[in-house]
Amino acid sequence: MIQGIGGALFSHAANAAKQTRPIEAQKQFSAFLKEALHEVNKEQVQADRLTEKLVRGENVDLHQVMIASQKASISLQLALEIRNKVVEAYQEMMRMQI
């Protein structure tokens, strides 16, 4: 997840440097955020699915359940930190005097 976000961020940054129109940059950023949130959701769903299988007594390794759960937790924490930084940057821009 983290590597996917990092790789996508660098590729989007390289593409954004070539394009100067704000509307295109806004659409790319929006698409990037949607994709990142979709990946976080996928991690959460996978962890839930494995946990349910473990609870039902199906043949699933405990360590796989724990790994999926930790990946989902870290992905969510990363998404929250990114959201906090974006909100903080927005608030800082709104405080700027013109």
Task: State in Å, rounded, how far the first CA of the chain is from the last one.
Answer: 39
User: pTM (2 decimals)?
Assistant: 0.69
Summarised one tens digit per residue, pLDDT across range 28-60 is: 888 988 999 999 999 999 999 999 999 999 999
For residue 95, pLDDT over 80 is answered with yes
25 pLDDT above the threshold of 90: no
Q: How does residue 97 score in pLDDT terms, banded at 50, 70 and 90?
A: confident
Please tell me the predicted confidence (pLDDT) of residue 98. Answer: 78
50 vs 44: CA distance, rounded Å: 10
Q: How many Cβ atoms from other residues are within 10 Å of residue 79's Cβ?
A: 19
